[in-house]
Amino acid sequence: MKLRSSLAVTLGALALTLSMSTSALAATGEFHYKFRDDSGQELSVTLPDPRSGGCINLYGVDSDDLPPGYAPHNQTDARATVYEGTNCEGNEWTLRPHGRPASDRLLVRSVRFEDQ
């Protein structure tokens, strides 16, 4: 079960990465967040070198029918604004480049990285 869930997260993150335009500017580094799957297992997702400027709906938490993600950690070289809602809507918080992990209480569904 654990391997299947980990594989699903990895494939989802890969699909998200591949769907991003290669000509878009990208933040250098990694962005992490956690979420719980249908069975309640905590999973962690890493977005490597995420694109800048556009809104990214986060894998596994990109619907109001799903519990939100939490504990975002911005290890990129760009400011990341995380949003409580999808499509970069709702309450927002800015995370510094190469900052510390945010609290598990910070709920997220989407993120936007500052243009470099």
Question: Token pair for residue 74?
Answer: 């911005």
What gap in Å lies between CA 6 and CA 12, rounded to an integer? Answer: 10
Cα dihedral 23, 19, 1, 102 sign: positive
What gap in Å lies between CA 49 and CA 46, rounded to an integer? Answer: 10
Task: Give the amino acid at 42.
Answer: E
* Each residue's pLDDT tens digit, 1-16: 555 555 555 555 655 5
In DSSP notation, 16-29 reads: HHHHS-TTS-B-SE
Q: Strand, helix or coil at 54?
A: coil
What gap in Å lies between CA 22 and CA 40, rounded to an integer? Answer: 34
Q: Does residue 56 contact residue 112 with C-beta atoms inside 8 Å?
A: yes
User: Taking 80 as the threshold, does the pLDDT of residue 110 lie above it?
Assistant: yes
pTM value? 0.78
User: Taking 80 as the threshold, does the pLDDT of residue 45 lie above it?
Assistant: yes
